[in-house]
A and B are shown apart, each in its own frame.
Chain A
Amino acid sequence: MSDIPKADELFKSIDYNPPTTGWMETPVDFSPGRWCYPAKPEKMEYMESKLPGLWGPAREWLPSDEDWKLPSNWKEIVVNGFRERLKKFRTLQLFMDICVRCGACADKCHYFIGSGDPKNMPVLRAELMRSVYRGEFTVAGKILSKLTGSRVMEEDVLKEWFIYFYQCTQCRRCSLFCPYGIDTAEMTMMARELMHLVGLNTNWIMEPVSNCNITGNHLGIQPHAFKDIVDFMVDDIEEVTGRRVKAPLNEKGHEILFITPSGDVFADPGIYTFMGYLLLFDYLDLDYTLSTYASEGGNFGSFTNNETMKKLNAKMYAEAERLGCKWILGGECGHMWRVVHQYMDTMNAELQHSGMTTPRSPITGTVFDTSAATKMLHITEFTADLIKHGKLNLDPSRNDHLRVTFHDSCNPARGMGLLDEPRYVLKNVCNNYFEMPEGTTREQTFCCAGGSGLNTDEIMEIRLRGGLPRGNALRYVQEKHGVNTMACICAIDRATLIPLADYWAPGVGITGTHELVANALVLEEGEVRKMDMRQEYLPGFEDEEDDWTPPNMEDA
C-alpha cells in the first residue's frame, strides 16, 4: 500500500475530461494494481468437478502477461455463450438494443467519480459488450462497423472486459438514473459469466466460492473451528455482560435457522455484530440454531454465474430441511440479501421442505407476509418489530460515546428497498444519529467500492478511488456533527469501509447495527454495563481498573 498517493494528491489527479483518442483506440493499462490475482488452478479444478463446463481451463497466468493462455477456441465459446444468454435474459437483449448513450448514468458510478476513467462510465462499460453485440449479431453493425460503434470479438476486447468488468461492484446505482432502467450491474454479471467460460477469473472470488461449497463458508473454516470461534465469542459476551449465552450449533428441532455472513465470524468489527445477535437471541430465549454447514450468508457464486449462485444458495433450504426449521432468519449481509430477495425463491423454491412457514416472530406474533415465498426474514425487520412492540429494554445512552451515521449498503438499498428498518433500529439504540448528505444515502447510496469480489488489497488504489464519494460524504458529517461511527448492515462493508474511512475520513470507526443493539440492550433490571461489546470502557468507567479518584470527584 506504500505507493498509494495521499488522499489530496489522489483527489487532484482526477480529471473528468476524456482523452483525445477514441475509446476503442485507447489502450488499456494492465500494470499491477489494476487487477485482482487470477484463481489458483486447484480452485478452478475443484469447481469444474462440481459444475462442469463453466470454468474454462485451469492454469497459471497473469493479466500483465502477453499470453493469457486462453483455450484455442475461446472466441467461439464467448460468442456462443453471448448468443445463448441473449435468449436467456431479456434484460441483456433489451439493454444491448436500447441504450441511447444519453450519458445520464455517466457520472453516477463511484469508480468514474473517483478515477475519471471514461471506461468507468456505466454507459461505456456496457458499450464494451454492446460493441461486440453489434459487431457479431446485428446486420447494421456488420455493415457499418465504425459508424455504429461496432467491433468483433478480439483478444484485446476480452482483455479490456477483464479489467473493466472487474472494476464494477454491481452496485446498480447507474440503473436508478437511466431513463430505461438499464442495469449495468446485470451486464457485468453476464460479462463475468462469459469470462468464466474461458477461465478468466479472480482468486478472491473463486477461492471463497470453492470454500463455500466445501465447508459452508467463504473462509474455509471447518466445523470444529467454527464452533471454537463461537465459543470464544460466548466467553467475550460473558466478559462484557456477565451473562453466559447459548449458541446452539447444528441442533435439530428448532423453529428458526439463523444464517449470517461468515465474515462476521472471523474479523473485526464483524464479530461484535455476531456477538450482538447471540446476545439478543439469548435475551429473547429464541428457539433457533446456527449451522456450520450453512454457515455462509454471502453468496460469492453471484459473482461468477447463476448456476453457482443457485448451488451455494441451495444450502440454506437444504439445511432448514435437515434440521427441521420452519423459517430462516438472515443476518446483516449485502449480497446475501440481494440473492435471497431477488433470486432465492425463483431458483430454489423446490428445495423448501413442506414444514416451512411464513416467518412469524415468536415474540410479538407478527407474521411477515413480505417474505411469504422465501420464508426468510431480515434481522432488521425482526428487530424493528421487537422494538416497536416494546419487547426490548434498551438504554441508548450506553452508545452515547458514539456519534453514528448509517451507510446504506447497495444491495439491501437498491436490490430490495430496505431503507427504514435499520434506521429505526439505530435511532432506538443510540441518541446521536446523523444522516449523510442527500444524494449519497438511501437509494442513491454510494458503494463501499469493495463489493462483488473486489474486496482485496492488490487493487487498493482502485478501491480508494471508488470510495471517494462515500468517504467524502462521511467526512462531511464527521466535520459537521462530529460523527465517529458509521453503521452498516453488510459484512463486506464492515471489512471494506475501514481502509476507506481511514483514508478519506480518518477517525471514523465502522460497526454493524446489531453491535449497537447489543450495547444498548439491558439484560435485566438495574444491569450496569461498564464496557461496550468491544470491551472498551464506557465513559465514566475508564478508571475502573485503578483506584485513583480524580481530585475534583473527592467530595462527590
Chain B
Amino acid sequence: MYILNRRRFLQVGSLASATLLMPKFLKAFETGALVPPGNKVLVIVQLSGGNDGLNTIIPYRNDIYYRSRPALGIRREAALSLNDDLGIHPALQGLKALYDDGAMGILNNVGYPNPDRSHFRSMDIWHSASQSAEIWNDGWVGRYLDAQCNGCDKPTQALEIDDTLSLALKGEHNKGLALTDPGRLSNTSNDRFFKELLQQHVVEDEHHNVEYLYKTMGETISSATYIQQQFKTYQSKESYPATELGRNMRIIANLIMSDINTKVYYVSHGSFDTHVNQQDQQARLFKQLSDALTVFTGDLKKNNRFQDVMVMTFSEFGRRVSQNASGGTDHGTANNMFLIGGDLKRQGVLNEGPDLMNLKDGDLQYKVDFKSVYATLLDKWLGADDKMILKADYAKLDFI
C-alpha cells in the first residue's frame, strides 16, 4: 500500500554520477585554483541555549561569585588558572592549552543594550545583529553574502553544518547553504528528475518567484556537486572525537584544507539551557567542545592553515549571577566569547573580567557590544564593508 512502485521510485530517486549540469562557475573552477592561497576563514560556533559565562571564565577571587553560587561556584583549585583573577572551567583543558599557546583571546562582558532574556528573541538579535527593539528578517552573515557575492558565481561562501539553515546565514538576496553530510546533500540534489527539470526550464519574465526558485535550485545542485568534489580532495588523518561536534569540525577541516571558496562556517553546539543540574551538563558539553576544537586546531596547524582561521564562539546570553533552587541558573545577560586562531594580534584575556559589584537586577551589565566583534571580523578578517552589513558604525576591537 505504501510503496506503490518500488522500481519507479528507485528510478526517480536514483543518483546519477554524471555531471549533467555544468554551470559556468563550475567550468571556471575546473580551470584551476580560484581560491587564493591563505583564504581567510571564519568558523562560528554557536553555544545554543545560553551558556553560563560565569562558570566558563571563573572570577575565582571574587567573594560575590561564591556567595551567589554556594553550590554551583567552581572552586579556585578546580578551575584552570588563566591569571590572578580568572580561571577557566576544568573541562576546557584544550582551550586552556590554546590560551597558553597564545592562540586564544577571551572577551568578557559581551552583550547588547536592553537585553532580552528569551532564547528565541535574543538568538534572533545575535543572528540578525539588530537592536533589541528591532526585528530584522535577515542575518549578518547573510548580509555579508549579499555584499560580497551579489552576482558572483560562488554560492558556497558560507556553509552551515546542519540540516536546516539559521537566520544568521540568510541574506536578502543570498543565503548560505546548510548541509550535514556533503555526500548526502549531493545525493538529494543529484536526483535526476530535479536535474532534468532544471535543464528543461526556460527563463520567463513575469513570475519572479518561479525564477527565484529555479535559481535557488540550480545553485543548490551545482554547489552540492562542487562541495562534494572539494570534500573528496582532502580527508583528515586526525582522529576527531565521536561526537556530533567532532564530526562537524572534521567536515569543516576537510573543507578548509580542500581550498574550497568558503569563507564562513557555522556550527551549533548545545543545549546549554541549564536551569536544572547545570554542573554535569555544562561539563559534558564543554569537554565535547574542548576536545573537538583541540583536534581541529591541531589539524589546521599540521597543515599550516591555523593562521588563516578564526574561530568565534558565542551564546545568546549568559546566566544570572545567582544560582537557582534547582542546581542551575536562569537566563541572564552579558557573557564571554572565545576567539581562537593562529593569527591573533592580541591574545589572552582581552578585557576586564565580570564586574559583580555593579549588577543590574542581579545581572551582569555588558561592556562590549557583540556587534563590535562582528564589525572587527567583517572588516579586519573578511575584508568586507562592516558598516554596510551591520547598518551602523561599531567600534573595532584590536584582537585582529
Chain B binds chain A: no
B→A interface (CB under 8 Å): none
A→B interface (CB under 8 Å): none
